Structure 1
Amino acid sequence: MRAEQPERNPAGTGPGAKEVVVIGAGIGGLATSALLAREGHRVTLLEKRDEVGGRAGSWEQDGFRFDTGPSWYLMPEVIDHFFKLMGTSAAQQLDLRKLDPGYRVIFQEGLDTVDVPAEREAVTKLFESMEAGAGEQLSAYLDSAEDAYEMAKKRFLYSTFESFAPFLRPDVLRQLPRIGSLLLQSLNSFVEKRFRDPRIRQILGYPAVFLGSSPFEAPSMYHLMSHLDLDDGVLYPMGGFTTLIEAMRRVAVEAGVEIRTGADVVSIDTSARTPGRSPLDRRSAVVRGVTYRAAGKQAFVPADLVVSAADLHHTETALLPGELQTYPEKYWQKRVPGPSALLLYLGVRGELPQLEHHTLLFTSDWRENFGRIFGKETSVPSPASLYVCRPSATDDSVAPAGHENVFVLVPIPADVSIGRGGLEGGGDARVEVLADEVIGQISAWAGIPDLADRIVVRRSYGPQDFADDLNAWRGTSLGPAHILRQSAFFRGSNRSARVENLLYAGSSTIPGIGIPMCLISAELVVKRLRGDVSTGPLPEPAPRRRAPQGARGA
């Protein structure tokens, strides 16, 4: 086990501070620990793996450095907001570049490849060239997307849903009919009513995958995602997403967080508690600490507050006894997981101008493709719609000279029986056969006939790896899917209903999936502790706070 001691003690830590343990050092855990230390608490962050980052990890071999997970830098103001709460900014911590084109889309049958530019005016002209009248339609669509995004950011994304009084505001009440309409129709239906060209429909529908869902299942409220890539554009942090993780680790340690890696939590430990007078207070226990395993030995860390940023299914069903589970196994039997993924990390000799920094490959029959992933009877699509990232198009530091860094993500069913990946074709047979098919598909569709022969580094990663490494429910690569009954207040609380002072953060709780959502989930922990039921982000910058004596329980 490696423990990373804080470089300095926060000025706000005092005798009234809580002893806090945060479980899981992914985006949600790093952000939660940093913000709580900034609040003046004494924070220990426990991470099962040897490095922080969770899904947003890093892997290096033979001069190639791969981001192992997230690769789209969206909602930059949310990321900047986190750093400002920590007394700095994204501009101070990261070297961000805007990609133009934002991404390339290659279609399956007889449809021209489309490069989606970085600016709204250029995108509007592009869509008009693809379908008469589509430019004007896109302007209206993006205006609607921006309105939906601003409403979500102002009233929903930053809410703990502890109180519904803030939603009874005139701006929300005026828009209830529109909100209802956006929630009750699918994103696919919303898009098809406005555009005929199949390429435009797919470009506007695909963001549902970022939410762990299908355009046929995700509510049309999520058309707001198009505002993020078509209005705001797509950014890239030079050096890769590992620079974001390193910046978050740095500000956390500077705030006073002690990070212990190689620390596999085995239980959240509690003491009996007298239930409250309210019939709604079912909490019969209170946290007293966390037990973890490191280097073959068990250790106990006492805590007044525990925040689990680990997978919520794992937290509830593996770290707590049955009688203290808010979300027991029977709850998960009715939930819908987001997709798992086949991930490929490929080091390729020579240049690949056929691929942009971001390239999407779309099959023609989307309904069949998504039906295989999300249907009652699941199977791996063949061919599959997939995503390719070539960061070496922008960043020379991620590959040796004369080589390309290629990351491939193929959405597949959340099914651990598909297996594990491995190095140089050494994964489970089903995973490696699929990997060969995918490499062949990219080769054929993108016009790179010798792609397979030029691969000098190859690593695959499958659903079982997500389960083994991240304790991911059913091997999902993202978390619970963003369908209507798993969004906003339907997603579940970030507070245990059975254990006092046990809170949750990360992609499987509110507000949801993705780096920005995980950062907001950390902020919601702070709001929960403050008793803040407002629906907007915390003011910047966050002052250092001295925890009052006898701070009330969460």
Structure 2
Amino acid sequence: MTPATAPADGAQRRHAVVIGGGIAGLASAALLARDGYDVDLLERQPEVGGRAGSWASGGFRFDTGPSWYLMPEVFDRFFRLLGTSAAEQLDLRTLDPAYRVFFEGEAAPVDVSPDLATNVATFDRLEPGAGVRLRRYLDSARDTYDLALRSFLYTSFTSLRPFLTARVLRRAHRLPPLLLRSLESFVAARFTDPRLRQILGYPAVFLGSSPDRTPSMYHLMSALDLAGGVSYPQGGFTRLIEAVAAVAERAGARLHTGATATTVTTEPVRGRRRARVTGVRYTDAAGTAREIPADVVVGAADLHHVETTLLPASLRTYPERWWRRRTSGPGAVLVYLGVRGHLPHLAHHSLFFTRDWRANFDAIFAGRVPAPASVYVCRPSATDPSVAPEGHENLFVLVPVPADPGLGAGGVDGAGDAAVEAIADAAIDQVATWAGMADLRERIVVRRTVGPADFARDLHAWRGGMLGPAHTLGQSAFFRAGNVSRRVAGLYYAGSSTIPGIGLPMCLISAELAAERVRSDNSRGGQVAAPAAPAAPDAAAQPAVPDPSAQPAVVRTGRR
């Protein structure tokens, strides 16, 4: 493992091991390699990607997880830190409509446009006067998003300094109401039509929560889709993973698949921390036990698994008793469908909302499968011809369910556990009925289901959840798990279980925070300079991004 570029003073390069090859792990490996570390990444699956995986059958290719490209400035910032840009790496297409919403009991769906003026007109049509209120709502959302991006998302909460700026202090009086009031209540105070309330409340699902459990600060997410539009990378989200993996390898990181981490090895030390990392033991694809020495370890796999399986009880910052007091986001039944013929009734993104939304969410968090359920459907073949054979469509159906591996696992062609297949059947019939596609079931030529037990088995997902700990007040910002072990020096964390939270952009930020903690050795505040806020939707200029030349020099060791 001799690097092409050695340290100028001849000192031996420090070694880092990253556990987990999802987007947070890949980004962590890239950033640490850029900072001069000799990096090995261990991924237990045959391919990197984690939740953002890929599955192919019969000429169809399915993204197995994330499907919304939001917060584009976060992706571009990451690529610029590695000497490139999102524009160079991805072929992004703006979706029009951004998404379509079907409502139980309503004859016509509602399209959300990438154009703000069109959305204002839509709100006015559904509720007279709502257009003006939408503009005010989005002004607040943009301001809150700007504040969060500049002052909260790119910090490890190890210092008060980021919160004592004039920008934050001027808005300090607004923060308690935004934190203590629910998103559901915040929206209901401004809009009456239940369809508009659901459109503005659904972003809570992206956060693994529900509108009545999510702080109203997260109304900031409406600035992303209603005012900023939604994009899609041609080739799917697997193309995004390929791009992040490629920049990691170009920076010098070595990516090992079929490599299952079994232990974070440590040695005792004196002082506040009880140990420091010495390496990682793992089993390779052939079943051979191996060990890599390390000065730094980043646990970018599921945090519950890293803490409760790879460390002894005495060295756990987040032991089992800590997790028992936490709330998981929902689980999911996923359905991948290859369909003969075309499905013009569906947009690229379509949402199917039940009338009694509160009952739907209450059932999930009480451990019951809702019936009917609110369902999300992605039809990437509406935008990307590469994901389905000619004359066919690709559908990804997501049904939120309790985070409970006991619901079972999925399978191919109906071979999954009975409960999972029944949930899938109900969702297919619901989509067919609400969208006016009576023959949908008869046109299915490829079918695969995934259940909570699959998330638990394949991803070590805590409680079989699809996202991670829910973004409730007690599990957001500085209340969320931190990115450094309090018991083991040299052990850091990245991913959706840690700050800042759930979603691909948040995972990229978490990787940057972890890399910054490594650089500062948890001693100088741990804040990373945030990118500029997004421009207003009608502005011609693109959001500014940091100058990569101002960052630490990239140490490239070539592709493996």
TM superposition score category, shorter chain reference: over 0.9
Q: Within 1, Cα distance between the matches of 2:503 and 2:39?
A: 24
Q: Within 1, Cα distance between the matches of 2:395 and 2:5?
A: 41
Q: CA offsets, 1:186-244, max 9 Å, x none? A: 00000000000110000000000000010010000000000011111000001111110
Q: Within 1, Cα distance between the matches of 2:289 and 2:180?
A: 49
Q: CA offsets, 1:45-102, max 9 Å, x none? A: 0001000000000111110000000000000110011000000000000100000110
Please say if 1:97 is aligned against 2:87. Answer: no
Q: For residue 11 of structure 1, report the CA deviation from its aligned partner.
A: 6.8
Change (3 A) 1:16 1:510: farther
Q: Within 2, Cα distance between the matches of 1:425 and 1:416?
A: 18
> Equivalent residue for 2:519?
530
| 1:419 and 1:430 in contact (8 A); partners too | yes
> Equivalent residue for 1:301?
292
Q: CA offsets, 1:287-306, max 9 Å, x none? A: 00000112222100100000
Of residues 441, 445, 456, the one that matches 2:445 is 456
Percent of aligned pairs with the same residue?
60
Q: CA offsets, 1:458-511, max 9 Å, x none? A: 000000000000000000000000001100010021000000000000100010
Matches within 5 A, 1:51-90: 51-90=47-86
Q: CA offsets, 1:439-475, max 9 Å, x none? A: 1111111111011110000000000000000000000
Change (3 A) 1:168 1:457: same
Matches within 5 A, 1:483-498: 483-498=472-487
Change (3 A) 1:345 1:9: farther
> Equivalent residue for 1:205?
201
Q: CA offsets, 1:278-324, max 9 Å, x none? A: xxx3x110000000112222100100000000000001000000000
Q: Within 1, Cα distance between the matches of 2:47 and 2:443?
A: 30
| 2:408 and 2:420 in contact (8 A); partners too | yes
Change (3 A) 1:385 1:175: same
> Equivalent residue for 1:265?
261
Q: Within 1, Cα distance between the matches of 2:424 and 2:468?
A: 23
> Equivalent residue for 2:540?
none
| Length, aligned pairs only | 534
> Equivalent residue for 1:552?
none
Please say if 1:349 is aligned against 2:356. Answer: no
Q: Which moved more, 1:104-113 or 1:488-497?
A: 104-113
| 2:82 and 2:554 in contact (8 A); partners too | no
Q: CA RMSD in A?
A: 1.5
| 1:12 and 1:545 in contact (8 A); partners too | no
Of residues 532, 537, 552, the one that matches 1:543 is 552
TM-score by length of 1: 0.94
Of residues 32, 39, 50, the one that matches 2:35 is 39
Q: Which runs of 4+ in 1 moved over 3 A?
A: 8-14
Q: Within 2, Cα distance between the matches of 1:540 and 1:310?
A: 30
Q: Within 2, Cα distance between the matches of 1:316 and 1:131?
A: 50
Q: Secondary structure at the match of 2:266?
A: strand
Q: Within 1, Cα distance between the matches of 2:446 and 2:303?
A: 34
| 2:516 and 2:528 in contact (8 A); partners too | no
Of residues 131, 135, 141, the one that matches 1:139 is 135
One-letter code aligned to 1:308? G
Matches within 5 A, 1:141-540: 141-275=137-271, 281=272, 283-294=273-284, 295-375=286-366, 378-531=367-520, 533=525, 534=527, 536-537=529-530, 539-540=546-547
Q: For residue 374 of structure 1, report the CA deviation from its aligned partner.
A: 1.6
Q: Which moved more, 1:113-122 or 1:162-171?
A: 162-171
Q: Within 2, Cα distance between the matches of 1:545 and 1:195?
A: 50
Q: Which structure 1 segments of 5+ residues have no match?
A: 276-280, 548-554
Q: Within 2, Cα distance between the matches of 1:331 and 1:211?
A: 20
Q: Within 2, Cα distance between the matches of 1:160 and 1:372?
A: 34
One-letter code aligned to 2:353? F
Q: Which moved more, 1:398-407 or 1:117-126?
A: 117-126
Q: Within 2, Cα distance between the matches of 1:102 and 1:22?
A: 36
TM-score by length of 2: 0.93
Q: Within 2, Cα distance between the matches of 1:170 and 1:381?
A: 46
Q: Within 2, Cα distance between the matches of 1:314 and 1:380?
A: 26
Q: Secondary structure at the match of 2:518?
A: helix
One-letter code aligned to 1:100? D
| 1:102 and 1:358 in contact (8 A); partners too | yes
| 1:16 and 1:546 in contact (8 A); partners too | no
| 1:20 and 1:41 in contact (8 A); partners too | yes
Q: Which structure 2 segments of 5+ residues have no match?
A: 532-545
